[in-house]
């Protein structure tokens, strides 16, 4: 592999940080976090959440950054160089990225379409029926999946074309530049949205509902599982994404500092999203004359049923709709780019083919699978199934096996720690090894057992 061109590099540290933050901030921040926090103790959830960030989120970010920078390769090759048997985990991560990419893009496509729908309030007075029947033409049963839905296919194809063009332009000219444009844009869009949201009638009721602490929840194990789960998904760790992005760093870049910036930026955005979403839900509850508890939702129901209704009820709702769905598209796109890059880089590293060929072949194949599966009227079933599998097993399993191998079997943590410390002003103490070798594996193992129990209950 000596005759290969030198590996690409980020133009600036800021560029890398923007890309890492862009990957982290995604749909999970906007539509997942608010409901998870509400369901798991509200204000008091911030405690386990912060602990999860400090004991698992940031330490794992540092680990992935260090592996990526040291071995300068995508997950399979980097892990192979670290400790040969872990190469399989790298491929497992690539497989997870493939599955996530196929369905994550779909939600972006729906959001893109809903920017247009916001102008005309196309859903009339039945956003629910409109979404499932008119827009998705959702099948009643999996057995009746037959039709192709052009209304979904077209925006989905557009999302894939944009993603692949950006990846095709390369790390610096494509990924870095896109993030440097999209992240500031997202902050503006979302900032205006939140300001509008907190000035709505009923906003305070919504915020009280979100932040009302339930300290008793802290004794409940599943609240802690939820906190760690949210941190893993939200920071995009355990997917090999950060290994991939860090492989384009130069050897002198500060990893520990970057991990802290990325971790706190992501969590700040997430809390901001909680404020925006719950202020808006407070408005919705006030309009309907019901309690906030009655209108709380997350995920698909929040974005495509609750928000459309709110947009209809609000003065200048069209603008609010564009800001909301626009934010989903931008936040999601920067995450999608990072997911697909893992697949592309893994194939590039493995086969030695050029970036363009890798983007066209594997990136293209991922897009085609995504369009074929999810533009049918059964898209919603596939989405649920894929999401369930990924969240319950995919991530936890890869993370757990990797950590046990790296810290206990191959005992690589001291070497990696020295590597990270060499370029950082803040030295990693013993706590780093404790977090990665003990705390996080225990939590991940517990998460897996917890979800297995729920599966068979």
Residues that bind ligand PHE (CB under 6 A): 23-24, 26-29, 100, 233-234, 236, 239, 241, 335, 338-339
For the CB of residue 351, give the shortest distance to ligand PHE in the complex, in Å.
Answer: 23
For the CB of residue 402, give the shortest distance to ligand PHE in the complex, in Å.
Answer: 16
Specify the residue, 19 or 443, whose C-beta has the smaller distance to ligand PHE: 19
Specify the residue, 345 or 413, whose C-beta has the smaller distance to ligand PHE: 345
Q: What is the CA radius of gyration of the chain?
A: 21
C-alpha–C-alpha distance, residues 431 and 123, integer Å:
52
Neighbours of 222 (CB within 10 A): 14
∠ at Cα 94 (300, 249), nearest 5°? 105
Specify the residue, 41 or 263, whose C-beta has the smaller distance to ligand PHE: 263
Specify the residue, 27 or 249, whose C-beta has the smaller distance to ligand PHE: 27
For the CB of residue 329, give the shortest distance to ligand PHE in the complex, in Å.
Answer: 13
C-alpha–C-alpha distance, residues 86 and 398, integer Å:
10
Residue 73, both tokens: 């390769």
Close Cβ partners of 402 (under 8 Å, ≥ 6 residues apart):
79, 86, 89, 238
C-alpha–C-alpha distance, residues 160 and 9, integer Å:
24
CB contact burial 243-270 (16+ within 10 A = b; e otherwise): bbbbbbbeeebbbbbbbbebbebbbebb
Asked whether 105 and 160 are in contact (CB, 8 A), the reply is yes
Specify the residue, 178 or 292, whose C-beta has the smaller distance to ligand PHE: 178
Residue 172, both tokens: 């610096």
Asked whether 262 and 255 are in contact (CB, 8 A), the reply is no
Specify the residue, 270 or 348, whose C-beta has the smaller distance to ligand PHE: 270
| Beta pairing partners, 376 | 148
Specify the residue, 149 or 333, whose C-beta has the smaller distance to ligand PHE: 333
For the CB of residue 179, give the shortest distance to ligand PHE in the complex, in Å.
Answer: 13
Specify the residue, 280 or 338, whose C-beta has the smaller distance to ligand PHE: 338
C-alpha–C-alpha distance, residues 436 and 374, integer Å:
37
For the CB of residue 427, give the shortest distance to ligand PHE in the complex, in Å.
Answer: 28
For the CB of residue 390, give the shortest distance to ligand PHE in the complex, in Å.
Answer: 8
For the CB of residue 80, give the shortest distance to ligand PHE in the complex, in Å.
Answer: 22
Close Cβ partners of 263 (under 8 Å, ≥ 6 residues apart):
53, 57, 58, 61, 235
Query: How far is CA 368 from each of CA 94, 106, 219, 249, 374, rounded to the nearest angstrom?
Result: 17, 12, 46, 31, 10
For the CB of residue 342, give the shortest distance to ligand PHE in the complex, in Å.
Answer: 8
């Amino acid at each position: 592999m000596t005759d290969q061109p030198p590996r690409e590099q980020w133009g600036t540290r800021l560029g890398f940080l923007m890309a890492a933050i862009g990957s982290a901030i995604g749909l999970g921040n906007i539509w997942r976090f608010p409901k998870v926090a509400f369901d798991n103790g509200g204000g008091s959830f911030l405690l386990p959440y912060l602990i999860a960030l400090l004991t698992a989120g940031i330490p794992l970010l540092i680990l992935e950054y260090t592996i990526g920078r040291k071995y300068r390769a995508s997950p399979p090759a980097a892990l192979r160089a670290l400790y040969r048997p872990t190469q399989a985990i790298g491929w497992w991560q690539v497989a997870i990225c493939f599955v996530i990419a196929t369905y994550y893009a779909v939600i972006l496509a729906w959001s893109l379409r809903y920017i247009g729908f916001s102008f005309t309030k196309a859903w009339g007075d039945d956003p629910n029926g409109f979404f499932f029947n008119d827009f998705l033409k959702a099948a009643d049963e999996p057995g009746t999946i037959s039709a192709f839905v052009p209304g979904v296919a077209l925006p989905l194809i557009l999302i894939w074309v944009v993603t692949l063009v950006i990846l095709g332009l390369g790390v610096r000219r494509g990924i870095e530049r896109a993030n440097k444009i999209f992240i500031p844009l997202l902050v503006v869009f979302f900032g205006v949205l939140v300001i509008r949201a907190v000035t709505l009638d009923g906003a305070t009721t919504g915020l009280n509902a979100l932040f009302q602490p339930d300290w008793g929840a802290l004794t409940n194990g599943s609240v802690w599982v939820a906190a760690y789960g949210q941190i893993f998904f939200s920071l995009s760790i355990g997917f090999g994404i950060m290994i991939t992005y860090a492989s384009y760093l130069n050897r002198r870049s500060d990893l520990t500092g970057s991990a802290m910036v990325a971790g706190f930026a992501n969590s700040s955005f997430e809390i901001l999203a909680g404020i925006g979403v719950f202020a808006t839900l407070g408005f919705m509850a006030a309009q309907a004359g019901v309690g906030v508890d009655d209108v709380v939702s997350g995920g698909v129901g929040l974005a495509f049923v609750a928000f459309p209704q709110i947009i209809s009820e609000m003065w200048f709702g069209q603008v609010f709709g564009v800001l909301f769905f626009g934010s989903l598209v931008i936040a999601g796109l920067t995450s999608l780019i990072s997911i697909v890059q893992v697949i592309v880089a893994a194939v590039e590293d493995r086969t030695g083919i050029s970036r363009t060929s890798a983007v066209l072949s594997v990136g293209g194949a991922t897009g085609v699978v995504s369009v074929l599966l999810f533009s049918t009227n059964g898209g919603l079933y596939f989405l649920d199934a894929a999401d369930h599998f990924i969240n319950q097993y995919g991530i936890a399993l890869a993370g757990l096996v990797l950590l046990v191998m790296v810290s206990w079997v191959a005992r690589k943590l001291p070497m990696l720690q020295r590597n990270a410390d060499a370029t950082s002003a803040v030295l990693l103490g013993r706590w780093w090894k404790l977090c990665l070798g003990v705390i996080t594996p225990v939590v991940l193992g517990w998460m897996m057992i917890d979800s297995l129990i729920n599966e068979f209950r």
